[in-house]
Amino acid sequence: MTSTNSTTISVLGAGAWGTTLAILLARNHHPVRLWGHDAHHMGMLAQQRINSKYLPDIPFPESLEVTADLRDAITAAGVILIAVPSAGFCGLLDQLAPALHPGTRLAWATKGLEPRTGRLLHQAVGDRFGGVDTAVISGPTFAREVAAGLPTAVTVASASEAYAVQLAQWLHNSRFRAYTSSDIIGVQLGGAIKNVLAVAAGIADGLGYGSNTRAALITRGLAEMTRLGLAMGGHRDTFSGLAGLGDLLLTCTDNQSRNRRFGLYLGQGKDINAAVKNVGQLVEGLPTTREVHRLAAETDTEMPITEQVYRVLFEDRSPLAAVDDLLNRQLKSEEQ
């Protein structure tokens, strides 16, 4: 069990993952504030001491405070941990900029890229908060399993080794293990690209292509994830670790993954709007596909699976035709 820490940690984002991280940190005896933008929703959380929408069986620890006031959430916070969807990430940074206290450190568990630019989220943070210690938390995690206390491991990446170690220590307990990394580029890319590949895996399963196809898709998907990661300055080992292969396997093989379920519906013949509606939650792989496709073009990186997912989502290519395009590509060495 971790020791009590006096640093207040503010978790911004009261969805499933933000709530789970707040619960985890509070269980580890840290003072935690959980913020969400919806005042009515946050009022219900404060009254019921549970997030009935996402985690109906997980009560809040006593040290977890709830607020809908952003300024209140970050007042006296030593660390701010952002866990909002990538589409809202930069808007939240803009809200934080005039209110952030000197010395406050930032971290995020958001998996995605900056909309319309494809930039990594640490670049968006650096534009607004140069010189601030930053870190990203990523890895194979379903919120419900973490909240239920099932064994889980993640990666904490930062340019500051001391900050990465401290965050890892705060997160760590007998059921949650945190490893550290200096590869903030690779860890972020792994967390973003795996959502695109999970859509592809869902499409293949929705078409009824079976386990052989899924295994091949995951393996070749990892190859293109690694190619783009190296082209952008990531470390090769990162993509065979928790934030790469680990997260990819999880999201491509388990129906708790929204991106995989979205792909399943597409493979079964539903259109994009119907598939999103059936998932019932934000599908990060949808906007991320556009941005990863952009990065592949900018870096001249071959990403055939991503290319076909992009065509299905944005060029009206049928899933069946997209698979045929992949299978009919020119033969080449597996090392390419």
Q: What is the rounded distance in angstroms from the CA atom of residue 238 to the CA atom of residue 185? A: 9
Q: What is the rounded distance in angstroms from the CA atom of residue 326 to the CA atom of residue 336? A: 15
Residue 194 among the catalytic residues = yes
Q: What is the rounded distance in angstroms from the CA atom of residue 8 to the CA atom of residue 80? A: 9
Q: What is the rounded distance in angstroms from the CA atom of residue 277 to the CA atom of residue 78? A: 38
65-68's contacts with Cβ under 8 Å and 24+ in sequence apart are 65/31, 65/32, 65/33, 65/34, 66/14, 66/33, 66/34, 66/42, 67/33, 67/34, 67/35, 67/42, 68/35, 68/36, 68/37, 68/38, 68/39, 68/41, 68/42, 68/43
Answer for the pair 201, 260: CB distance below 8 angstroms, yes or no: yes
Distance of CA 254 to the CA centre of its chain: 16
Residues 6+ apart with CB under 8 A from 96: 70, 74, 80, 128
Range list of β-strands (E), 7-104: 9-12, 32-35, 50-51, 55-59, 64-67, 79-82
- Name the DSSP class of 240: G
| Catalytic-role residue among 194, 270, 277, 332 | 194
Whole-Å CA distances, 322 to 85, 250, 307, 318:
28, 23, 9, 6
DSSP assignment string, 244-295: IIIHHHHHHH-TT-HHHHHHHHHHTT--HHHHHHHH-S--THHHHHHHHHHH
Return the residue matching tokens 């399943």. 264
Q: Which residues are catalytic?
A: 194
